[in-house]
Protein backbone atom coordinates (compact mmCIF):
# COMPACT_ATOMS: atom_id res chain seq x y z
CA UNK A 1 0.00 0.00 0.00
CA UNK A 2 1.02 3.55 -0.73
CA UNK A 3 2.31 5.60 2.19
CA UNK A 4 1.20 9.23 2.28
CA UNK A 5 3.30 12.02 3.73
CA UNK A 6 1.09 15.10 3.76
CA UNK A 7 2.14 18.63 4.57
CA UNK A 8 5.79 17.62 4.45
CA UNK A 9 8.99 18.90 2.86
CA UNK A 10 10.96 17.68 -0.11
CA UNK A 11 14.03 17.17 2.10
CA UNK A 12 12.19 14.28 3.74
CA UNK A 13 12.72 12.34 0.50
CA UNK A 14 16.21 11.28 1.57
CA UNK A 15 14.65 9.46 4.51
CA UNK A 16 12.42 7.50 2.14
CA UNK A 17 15.05 6.59 -0.45
CA UNK A 18 18.81 6.59 -0.67
CA UNK A 19 19.77 9.33 -3.18
CA UNK A 20 22.46 7.01 -4.56
CA UNK A 21 19.91 4.47 -5.72
CA UNK A 22 17.19 6.89 -6.75
CA UNK A 23 16.48 8.82 -9.92
CA UNK A 24 14.09 11.75 -10.00
CA UNK A 25 12.04 12.50 -13.08
CA UNK A 26 10.65 16.02 -13.37
CA UNK A 27 9.94 18.63 -16.05
CA UNK A 28 11.76 21.81 -17.02
CA UNK A 29 9.23 24.21 -15.43
CA UNK A 30 9.41 22.54 -12.04
CA UNK A 31 13.17 22.00 -12.22
CA UNK A 32 13.88 25.64 -13.12
CA UNK A 33 11.66 27.01 -10.38
CA UNK A 34 13.00 24.69 -7.65
CA UNK A 35 16.62 23.93 -8.62
CA UNK A 36 17.84 24.06 -5.03
CA UNK A 37 15.53 21.28 -3.94
CA UNK A 38 17.03 18.87 -6.47
CA UNK A 39 20.66 19.38 -5.42
CA UNK A 40 22.42 16.10 -4.70
CA UNK A 41 19.93 13.96 -6.64
CA UNK A 42 20.13 12.25 -10.03
CA UNK A 43 17.56 14.08 -12.11
CA UNK A 44 16.06 13.51 -15.53
CA UNK A 45 14.45 16.73 -16.74
CA UNK A 46 11.71 16.35 -19.34
CA UNK A 47 10.17 18.97 -21.56
CA UNK A 48 6.85 20.09 -20.11
CA UNK A 49 3.45 19.43 -21.61
CA UNK A 50 0.80 16.84 -22.38
CA UNK A 51 2.19 16.53 -25.93
CA UNK A 52 5.22 14.77 -24.43
CA UNK A 53 3.17 12.16 -22.60
CA UNK A 54 3.87 9.72 -25.40
CA UNK A 55 5.85 6.53 -26.03
CA UNK A 56 8.93 8.31 -27.51
CA UNK A 57 9.40 10.05 -24.15
CA UNK A 58 9.21 6.66 -22.42
CA UNK A 59 11.93 5.37 -24.76
CA UNK A 60 14.10 8.41 -24.07
CA UNK A 61 13.71 7.96 -20.31
CA UNK A 62 14.63 4.26 -20.55
CA UNK A 63 17.78 5.15 -22.49
CA UNK A 64 18.67 7.71 -19.87
CA UNK A 65 18.10 5.11 -17.11
CA UNK A 66 20.48 2.71 -18.82
CA UNK A 67 23.02 5.51 -19.14
CA UNK A 68 22.66 6.24 -15.41
CA UNK A 69 23.16 2.53 -14.72
CA UNK A 70 19.76 2.05 -13.16
CA UNK A 71 18.97 -1.51 -12.11
CA UNK A 72 16.32 -3.50 -10.25
CA UNK A 73 17.19 -1.81 -6.98
CA UNK A 74 16.69 1.70 -8.37
CA UNK A 75 13.70 3.73 -7.19
CA UNK A 76 12.18 6.21 -9.61
CA UNK A 77 10.61 9.36 -8.23
CA UNK A 78 8.20 11.38 -10.31
CA UNK A 79 8.27 14.97 -9.07
CA UNK A 80 5.74 16.94 -11.04
CA UNK A 81 2.26 17.29 -12.40
CA UNK A 82 0.16 14.49 -13.82
CA UNK A 83 2.23 14.21 -16.97
CA UNK A 84 5.40 13.51 -14.99
CA UNK A 85 3.72 11.14 -12.53
CA UNK A 86 1.94 9.23 -15.32
CA UNK A 87 5.20 8.83 -17.26
CA UNK A 88 7.19 7.88 -14.17
CA UNK A 89 4.71 5.28 -12.94
CA UNK A 90 4.52 3.75 -16.39
CA UNK A 91 8.28 3.64 -16.97
CA UNK A 92 8.85 2.20 -13.48
CA UNK A 93 6.27 -0.51 -14.20
CA UNK A 94 7.94 -1.69 -17.38
CA UNK A 95 11.64 -0.96 -16.84
CA UNK A 96 13.26 -4.33 -16.03
CA UNK A 97 9.69 -5.63 -15.65
CA UNK A 98 9.01 -3.28 -12.80
CA UNK A 99 10.96 -1.29 -10.21
CA UNK A 100 9.91 0.73 -7.16
CA UNK A 101 8.58 4.22 -7.58
CA UNK A 102 7.22 7.10 -5.56
CA UNK A 103 5.71 10.48 -6.34
CA UNK A 104 6.15 14.07 -5.26
CA UNK A 105 3.11 15.71 -6.84
CA UNK A 106 3.65 19.41 -7.58
CA UNK A 107 0.39 20.59 -9.17
CA UNK A 108 -2.98 20.74 -7.42
CA UNK A 109 -4.27 18.30 -9.99
CA UNK A 110 -1.55 15.73 -9.37
CA UNK A 111 -1.81 16.19 -5.58
CA UNK A 112 -5.54 15.47 -5.42
CA UNK A 113 -5.97 13.25 -8.45
CA UNK A 114 -3.34 12.17 -10.98
CA UNK A 115 -0.70 10.83 -8.57
CA UNK A 116 -3.30 8.74 -6.75
CA UNK A 117 -4.75 5.44 -7.83
CA UNK A 118 -1.93 3.71 -9.65
CA UNK A 119 -3.16 4.24 -13.20
CA UNK A 120 -0.27 5.44 -15.31
CA UNK A 121 0.33 5.63 -18.99
CA UNK A 122 0.74 7.59 -22.19
CA UNK A 123 -1.42 9.04 -24.94
CA UNK A 124 -1.60 7.62 -28.45
CA UNK A 125 -2.62 10.22 -31.02
CA UNK A 126 -5.86 11.81 -29.87
CA UNK A 127 -6.54 8.91 -27.50
CA UNK A 128 -5.64 9.91 -23.97
CA UNK A 129 -4.11 7.29 -21.67
CA UNK A 130 -4.62 4.58 -24.29
CA UNK A 131 -1.59 2.55 -23.12
CA UNK A 132 -0.57 2.04 -19.53
CA UNK A 133 -0.37 0.05 -16.34
CA UNK A 134 -2.05 -0.14 -12.94
CA UNK A 135 0.58 -0.19 -10.25
CA UNK A 136 0.69 1.61 -6.91
CA UNK A 137 3.55 3.97 -5.96
CA UNK A 138 5.38 3.11 -2.74
CA UNK A 139 4.87 6.60 -1.36
CA UNK A 140 3.47 10.04 -2.02
CA UNK A 141 5.36 12.96 -0.52
CA UNK A 142 3.59 16.32 -0.37
CA UNK A 143 5.53 19.57 -0.26
CA UNK A 144 3.06 22.39 -0.81
CA UNK A 145 5.86 24.93 -1.30
CA UNK A 146 6.07 23.64 -4.88
CA UNK A 147 2.73 25.37 -5.46
CA UNK A 148 4.31 28.81 -5.13
CA UNK A 149 5.40 28.55 -8.75
CA UNK A 150 2.23 26.91 -10.09
CA UNK A 151 0.68 29.13 -12.81
CA UNK A 152 -2.84 30.56 -12.23
CA UNK A 153 -4.39 28.47 -14.99
CA UNK A 154 -3.10 25.28 -13.34
CA UNK A 155 -4.67 26.23 -10.00
CA UNK A 156 -7.98 26.52 -11.83
CA UNK A 157 -7.48 23.15 -13.54
CA UNK A 158 -6.86 21.53 -10.18
CA UNK A 159 -9.96 23.04 -8.63
CA UNK A 160 -12.12 21.53 -11.38
CA UNK A 161 -11.27 18.10 -9.92
CA UNK A 162 -11.79 19.32 -6.35
CA UNK A 163 -15.27 20.54 -7.30
CA UNK A 164 -15.85 17.18 -8.99
CA UNK A 165 -14.94 15.37 -5.76
CA UNK A 166 -17.37 17.57 -3.81
CA UNK A 167 -20.15 16.89 -6.31
CA UNK A 168 -19.80 13.12 -6.31
CA UNK A 169 -18.94 12.37 -2.69
CA UNK A 170 -18.68 15.27 -0.28
CA UNK A 171 -21.50 17.75 0.14
CA UNK A 172 -19.85 19.50 3.08
CA UNK A 173 -16.75 20.08 0.94
CA UNK A 174 -19.05 21.70 -1.61
CA UNK A 175 -20.39 24.06 1.08
CA UNK A 176 -16.84 24.90 2.16
CA UNK A 177 -15.87 25.71 -1.41
CA UNK A 178 -18.90 27.96 -1.78
CA UNK A 179 -17.66 29.99 1.17
CA UNK A 180 -14.10 30.42 -0.11
CA UNK A 181 -12.11 31.03 -3.29
CA UNK A 182 -8.83 30.14 -4.97
CA UNK A 183 -7.35 33.38 -3.63
CA UNK A 184 -8.28 32.32 -0.10
CA UNK A 185 -6.59 28.92 -0.42
CA UNK A 186 -3.49 30.43 -2.03
CA UNK A 187 -3.15 32.85 0.85
CA UNK A 188 -3.84 30.46 3.70
CA UNK A 189 -1.49 27.52 4.10
CA UNK A 190 -3.41 25.55 6.68
CA UNK A 191 -6.80 25.44 4.90
CA UNK A 192 -4.99 24.66 1.64
CA UNK A 193 -3.13 21.75 3.15
CA UNK A 194 -6.33 20.44 4.77
CA UNK A 195 -8.12 20.74 1.44
CA UNK A 196 -5.40 18.82 -0.40
CA UNK A 197 -5.36 16.06 2.19
CA UNK A 198 -9.16 15.75 2.22
CA UNK A 199 -9.30 15.44 -1.56
CA UNK A 200 -6.36 13.05 -1.80
CA UNK A 201 -8.00 10.82 0.82
CA UNK A 202 -11.34 10.99 -0.96
CA UNK A 203 -9.82 9.72 -4.18
CA UNK A 204 -7.75 7.11 -2.32
CA UNK A 205 -10.87 5.71 -0.68
CA UNK A 206 -12.78 5.47 -3.92
CA UNK A 207 -9.86 3.74 -5.65
CA UNK A 208 -9.12 1.33 -2.80
CA UNK A 209 -12.62 -0.04 -3.01
CA UNK A 210 -12.40 -0.48 -6.74
CA UNK A 211 -8.91 -0.54 -8.24
CA UNK A 212 -9.92 -1.92 -11.62
CA UNK A 213 -12.85 0.42 -12.22
CA UNK A 214 -15.86 -1.85 -12.11
CA UNK A 215 -18.08 0.27 -9.89
CA UNK A 216 -17.30 3.10 -7.55
CA UNK A 217 -14.20 4.31 -9.37
CA UNK A 218 -16.41 5.14 -12.30
CA UNK A 219 -17.88 7.99 -10.28
CA UNK A 220 -14.58 9.82 -10.76
CA UNK A 221 -15.51 10.13 -14.43
CA UNK A 222 -18.23 12.65 -13.55
CA UNK A 223 -17.99 15.38 -16.20
CA UNK A 224 -15.23 13.52 -18.02
CA UNK A 225 -17.19 11.61 -20.66
CA UNK A 226 -18.39 14.77 -22.33
CA UNK A 227 -15.31 16.63 -21.08
CA UNK A 228 -12.87 14.45 -23.01
CA UNK A 229 -14.96 14.77 -26.16
CA UNK A 230 -14.99 18.57 -25.77
CA UNK A 231 -11.26 18.63 -25.10
CA UNK A 232 -10.64 16.85 -28.40
CA UNK A 233 -12.82 19.23 -30.39
CA UNK A 234 -12.08 22.61 -28.85
CA UNK A 235 -9.16 24.59 -27.50
CA UNK A 236 -10.06 24.03 -23.87
CA UNK A 237 -7.92 23.19 -20.88
CA UNK A 238 -8.76 19.93 -19.15
CA UNK A 239 -10.36 21.77 -16.26
CA UNK A 240 -12.52 23.90 -18.54
CA UNK A 241 -13.65 20.88 -20.53
CA UNK A 242 -14.51 18.92 -17.39
CA UNK A 243 -16.36 21.94 -15.97
CA UNK A 244 -18.61 22.14 -19.04
CA UNK A 245 -18.92 18.34 -18.92
CA UNK A 246 -20.06 18.49 -15.29
CA UNK A 247 -22.62 21.18 -16.04
CA UNK A 248 -24.18 19.11 -18.81
CA UNK A 249 -24.00 16.01 -16.62
CA UNK A 250 -26.08 18.00 -14.12
CA UNK A 251 -28.66 18.72 -16.83
CA UNK A 252 -28.78 15.03 -17.72
CA UNK A 253 -29.17 14.29 -14.00
CA UNK A 254 -32.22 16.55 -13.93
CA UNK A 255 -33.84 14.41 -16.61
CA UNK A 256 -32.78 11.03 -15.23
CA UNK A 257 -32.65 11.56 -11.46
CA UNK A 258 -34.74 14.62 -10.72
CA UNK A 259 -31.56 16.48 -9.71
CA UNK A 260 -32.33 20.14 -9.04
CA UNK A 261 -29.07 21.87 -8.11
CA UNK A 262 -27.54 22.57 -11.52
CA UNK A 263 -27.50 26.34 -11.01
CA UNK A 264 -25.60 25.91 -7.78
CA UNK A 265 -22.93 23.71 -9.39
CA UNK A 266 -22.63 26.13 -12.31
CA UNK A 267 -22.15 29.12 -10.04
CA UNK A 268 -19.48 27.32 -7.98
CA UNK A 269 -17.61 26.50 -11.19
CA UNK A 270 -17.78 30.15 -12.24
CA UNK A 271 -16.58 31.25 -8.80
CA UNK A 272 -13.44 29.17 -9.33
CA UNK A 273 -12.75 30.64 -12.77
CA UNK A 274 -14.30 27.77 -14.71
CA UNK A 275 -16.94 27.82 -17.46
CA UNK A 276 -20.31 26.10 -17.05
CA UNK A 277 -22.90 26.47 -19.80
CA UNK A 278 -21.14 26.76 -23.13
CA UNK A 279 -22.49 26.16 -26.57
CA UNK A 280 -20.76 23.49 -28.58
CA UNK A 281 -21.33 21.58 -31.77
CA UNK A 282 -23.41 18.66 -30.49
CA UNK A 283 -22.85 16.55 -33.57
CA UNK A 284 -19.07 16.83 -33.61
CA UNK A 285 -18.74 16.29 -29.89
CA UNK A 286 -20.96 13.22 -30.09
CA UNK A 287 -18.78 11.72 -32.80
CA UNK A 288 -15.83 12.03 -30.41
CA UNK A 289 -17.85 10.69 -27.51
CA UNK A 290 -18.78 7.57 -29.42
CA UNK A 291 -15.09 6.80 -29.76
CA UNK A 292 -14.55 7.11 -26.01
CA UNK A 293 -12.91 4.02 -24.60
CA UNK A 294 -15.17 4.01 -21.58
CA UNK A 295 -18.22 2.91 -23.51
CA UNK A 296 -19.73 -0.52 -22.99
CA UNK A 297 -21.45 -2.46 -25.73
CA UNK A 298 -24.87 -1.47 -24.42
CA UNK A 299 -24.03 2.19 -23.97
CA UNK A 300 -21.90 4.29 -21.68
CA UNK A 301 -21.69 4.42 -17.93
CA UNK A 302 -22.66 8.02 -17.57
CA UNK A 303 -22.21 9.54 -14.13
CA UNK A 304 -25.18 11.46 -12.80
CA UNK A 305 -25.96 13.20 -9.52
CA UNK A 306 -28.90 12.42 -7.29
CA UNK A 307 -27.94 15.48 -5.31
CA UNK A 308 -24.73 17.39 -4.63
CA UNK A 309 -22.48 14.91 -2.83
CA UNK A 310 -24.15 11.78 -4.19
CA UNK A 311 -23.35 10.38 -7.62
CA UNK A 312 -24.16 7.18 -9.38
CA UNK A 313 -23.44 5.50 -12.70
CA UNK A 314 -26.26 4.96 -15.17
CA UNK A 315 -25.86 2.78 -18.21
CA UNK A 316 -27.28 5.04 -20.92
CA UNK A 317 -27.55 4.26 -24.60
CA UNK A 318 -25.62 6.74 -26.70
CA UNK A 319 -28.67 7.68 -28.74
CA UNK A 320 -30.68 8.35 -25.62
CA UNK A 321 -27.91 10.52 -24.18
CA UNK A 322 -27.64 12.41 -27.44
CA UNK A 323 -31.36 13.09 -27.36
CA UNK A 324 -31.31 14.39 -23.80
CA UNK A 325 -28.29 16.60 -24.44
CA UNK A 326 -29.84 18.02 -27.58
CA UNK A 327 -32.82 19.15 -25.53
CA UNK A 328 -30.71 20.48 -22.67
CA UNK A 329 -29.28 23.96 -22.28
CA UNK A 330 -28.24 26.32 -25.03
N1 LIG B 1 -3.24 8.68 -13.52
C2 LIG B 1 -4.40 9.21 -13.23
O3 LIG B 1 -5.23 8.61 -12.54
C4 LIG B 1 -4.69 10.59 -13.72
C5 LIG B 1 -5.78 11.30 -13.20
C6 LIG B 1 -6.01 12.59 -13.64
C7 LIG B 1 -5.16 13.15 -14.58
N8 LIG B 1 -4.11 12.43 -15.05
C9 LIG B 1 -3.20 13.01 -16.04
O10 LIG B 1 -2.58 14.15 -15.46
C11 LIG B 1 -2.23 15.06 -16.49
C12 LIG B 1 -2.65 16.44 -16.05
O13 LIG B 1 -1.99 16.77 -14.85
P14 LIG B 1 -1.38 18.21 -14.63
O15 LIG B 1 -2.42 19.22 -14.86
O16 LIG B 1 -0.66 18.21 -13.35
O17 LIG B 1 -0.41 18.28 -15.89
P18 LIG B 1 1.10 18.70 -16.13
O19 LIG B 1 2.01 17.73 -15.53
O20 LIG B 1 1.19 18.95 -17.57
O21 LIG B 1 1.24 20.07 -15.36
C22 LIG B 1 0.61 21.22 -15.84
C23 LIG B 1 1.62 22.35 -16.07
O24 LIG B 1 2.01 22.86 -14.81
C25 LIG B 1 3.41 22.83 -14.69
N26 LIG B 1 3.72 22.63 -13.27
C27 LIG B 1 3.36 21.57 -12.50
N28 LIG B 1 3.74 21.79 -11.23
C29 LIG B 1 4.33 22.99 -11.21
C30 LIG B 1 4.92 23.77 -10.19
N31 LIG B 1 4.91 23.37 -8.91
N32 LIG B 1 5.48 24.96 -10.53
C33 LIG B 1 5.44 25.40 -11.81
N34 LIG B 1 4.89 24.72 -12.81
C35 LIG B 1 4.34 23.53 -12.51
C36 LIG B 1 3.89 21.76 -15.62
O37 LIG B 1 5.21 21.99 -16.03
C38 LIG B 1 2.90 21.90 -16.77
O39 LIG B 1 3.31 22.94 -17.62
C40 LIG B 1 -2.91 14.56 -17.75
O41 LIG B 1 -1.96 13.95 -18.58
C42 LIG B 1 -3.90 13.54 -17.25
O43 LIG B 1 -4.16 12.52 -18.18
C44 LIG B 1 -3.87 11.17 -14.63
Closest ligand 1 atom to residue 49 Cα is: 20
Residue 297 pLDDT grade (very low, low, confident, very high; cuts 50, 70, 90): low
For residue 316, the number of C-alpha atoms closer than 13 Å in the C-beta half-sphere is 24
DSSP-based three-state secondary structure for 79:
strand
Which residue has the CA at smallest separation from atom 3 of ligand 1? 114
- Say what the pLDDT of residue 290 is: 79
The percent of residues above 90 in pLDDT, for the chain, comes to 81
CB under 6 Å to ligand 1: residues?
A: 27, 29-30, 33, 48-50, 53, 80-84, 86, 106-107, 109-110, 113-114, 117, 119-120, 128-129, 146-147, 149-150, 154, 157
Q: How far is the CA of 239 from the centre of ligand 1 (A)?
A: 11
For 185-204, the pLDDT digits (tens) are: 999 999 999 999 999 999 99
Residue 328 pLDDT grade (very low, low, confident, very high; cuts 50, 70, 90): confident
Average pLDDT rounded to a whole number, residues 102-111: 98
Which residue has the CA at smallest separation from atom 4 of ligand 1? 114
Q: How far is the CA of 253 from the centre of ligand 1 (A)?
A: 29
Which residue has the CA at smallest separation from atom 7 of ligand 1? 114
- Say what the pLDDT of residue 213 is: 64
Q: Catalytic positions, please? A: 97, 119, 161, 203, 213, 217, 221, 224, 228, 238
What sign for the dihedral angle of Cα 79, 82, 85, 88? negative
- Say what the pLDDT of residue 282 is: 85
Top pLDDT among 109 and 290 is at 109
For 105, counting Cβ atoms within 10 Å of its Cβ (0-12 exposed, 13-18 middle, 19+ buried), the class is buried
Mean pLDDT of the chain: 94
For 214-240, the pLDDT digits (tens) are: 688 999 999 998 998 898 788 899 999
Give the separation between CA 234 and CA 61, rounded to whole angstroms. 31
- Say what the pLDDT of residue 186 is: 98
The two most distant CA atoms of the chain are separated, in Å, by 60
Q: How far is the CA of 286 from the centre of ligand 1 (A)?
A: 27
Give the separation between CA 328 and CA 95, rounded to whole angstroms. 48
Give the separation between CA 244 and CA 219, rounded to whole angstroms. 17
Q: Is the pLDDT of residue 141 over 60?
A: yes
| Integer Rg of the chain from CA | 20
Q: Is the pLDDT of residue 72 over 70?
A: yes
Top pLDDT among 215 and 132 is at 132
Which residue has the CA at smallest separation from atom 34 of ligand 1? 150
DSSP-based three-state secondary structure for 315:
strand
Residue 74 pLDDT grade (very low, low, confident, very high; cuts 50, 70, 90): very high
Which residue has the CA at smallest separation from atom 22 of ligand 1? 81
Q: How far is the CA of 267 from the centre of ligand 1 (A)?
A: 25
Q: Which among 26, 87, 91, 109 is the best mutation to test ligand 1's pocket, defined by most ligand atoms within 8 Å of the CB?
A: 109
CB 106 within 8 A of CB 81: yes
Residue 285 pLDDT grade (very low, low, confident, very high; cuts 50, 70, 90): confident
Q: Is the pLDDT of residue 295 over 60?
A: no
CB 272 within 8 A of CB 320: no
Q: Which among 36, 110, 207 is the best mutation to test ligand 1's pocket, defined by most ligand atoms within 8 Å of the CB?
A: 110
Q: Is the pLDDT of residue 86 over 80?
A: yes
Q: How far is the CA of 299 from the centre of ligand 1 (A)?
A: 30
Amino acid sequence: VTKFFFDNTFSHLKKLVDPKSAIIITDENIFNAHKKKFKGWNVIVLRAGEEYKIQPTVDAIVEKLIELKADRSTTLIGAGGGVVTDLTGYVASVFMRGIDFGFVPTSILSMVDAAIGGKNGVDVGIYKNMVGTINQPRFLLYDNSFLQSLPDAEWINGFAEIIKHACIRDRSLFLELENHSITYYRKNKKPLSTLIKRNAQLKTKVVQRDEKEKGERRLLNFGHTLGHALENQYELSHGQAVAVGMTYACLVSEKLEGFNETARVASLLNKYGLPSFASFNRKKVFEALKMDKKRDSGGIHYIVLEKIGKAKARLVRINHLEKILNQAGT
